[in-house]
Amino acid sequence: MKKALISGISGQDGAYLAQFLLEKGYEVYGTSRDAQMASFRNLHILGIKENTVLESMALNDFRSVLQTIMKVQPDEIYNLAGQSSVGLSFQQPVETLESISVGTLNILEAIRFLGKDIRFYNACSSECFGDTKGEPADEETPFRPRSPYAVAKAASFWEVANYREAYGLSACSGILFNHESPRRGETFVTRKVTKAAARIAAGLQNEVYLGNLEAKRDWGHAKDYVEAMWLMLQQDKPDDYVIATRETYSVRELCEYAFGCLNLDYKKYVQYNPRYERPAEVDLLIGDPTKAKTILGWKPNYTFKSLIQEMVMHDYTIALLESKGVSNKS
């Protein structure tokens, strides 16, 4: 039985990846800064908390990382932890840089120090590309990061490449474009929109405020993307891959479809607020996953519409319960 260690197991990707690996027969370990106090809500909701072993680990503390890896003795490590909001990174640039780049470096150095045959996956981001002038980004597209978050992710990418080339580590980065689900945090625009549409339809909310409605993103489902993470670590030769759908939709189109799922006209409820504009916006992000499709045999199973419909129906179910005075935290 293989052992997998997931840092950031409590998040959207971590929870879905844990579920996926358990179904593959893995022994799954997950970390949090304080595993005794963390709620691991997503693991509870997916019904897998009792099937995972949870450890305390501080990614910015090399000793903590080293001790955890020595204790678990994993075959694979998936690094999904760190500050994950582009918008928040402008307010917390130092914490963002440290939690992502230093955390990644500590894991790489621990693997090198131990000399173990551990396969390592690093969560990189399409935000590293910045403005690609409308062209689909692939593995050869230069990075032009436009946020502290993107800078931190770019640093982690080059750390992985350096340790792979200098020390022969079996390490790779997945350059993942936006991926969503009902487990997505409510500060992210997709979940903010689907939750607002659901609450408005249930009579619990009157409007929602958003920033740039014309920004376009390449949106996929988190379940598809965690499968790609696993596929990367099953390759004999470690390499980096872009994971995307090669389709883009604007935030305005997201609103139109999400509200339309509940027979609502988004124009009546969506209001613009400049406070949600970023200091440096990336207007369009689109990825070219040809390499992943060719080498990994990966392809997305969910369409944009099926993804958004799933999120809306999930949030609408919760909103209806709330409107009837029933508490529901899923």
Structure confidence at residue 100 (pLDDT): 95
Annotated active-site residue in 16, 26, 149, 163: 149
Q: What is the mean pLDDT of the chain?
A: 95
Pick the CATH number of 3-179+220-243 from 3.30.450.40, 3.40.50.10800, 1.10.3720.10, 3.40.50.720: 3.40.50.720
Q: 302 catalytic, yes or no?
A: no
Q: 76 catalytic, yes or no?
A: no
The structure's pTM equals 0.95
Average pLDDT over residues 263-268: 97
Q: How far is residue 272's CA from residue 213's CA, in Å, rounded to a whole number? A: 8
Q: How confident is the model at residue 326 (pLDDT cuts 50, 70, 90)?
A: confident
Structure confidence at residue 134 (pLDDT): 86
* Fold category of 184-217+247-283+302-323 in CATH: UDP-galactose 4-epimerase; domain 1 (3.90.25)
Long-range contacts from 12-15, C-beta under 8 angstroms, 24+ separation: 12/42, 12/180, 12/181, 12/183, 12/184, 12/185, 12/222, 13/80, 13/123, 13/179, 13/222, 13/225, 13/226, 13/229, 14/42, 14/78, 14/80, 14/81, 15/42, 15/43, 15/45, 15/46, 15/48, 15/183
Average pLDDT over residues 217-227: 97
Average pLDDT over residues 93-115: 96
Q: 149 catalytic, yes or no?
A: yes
Annotated active-site residue in 127, 159, 180, 256: 127
pLDDT of residue 329 exceeding 70, the answer is: no
Structure confidence at residue 330 (pLDDT): 61
Average pLDDT over residues 160-188: 96
**Is 3-179+220-243's fold the same as 184-217+247-283+302-323's?**
no
Average pLDDT over residues 310-329: 89
Using the 8-state DSSP alphabet, how is residue 182 labeled? Answer: T
Ranges of each domain in the chain: 3-179+220-243, 184-217+247-283+302-323
Annotated active-site residue in 64, 125, 126, 156: 125
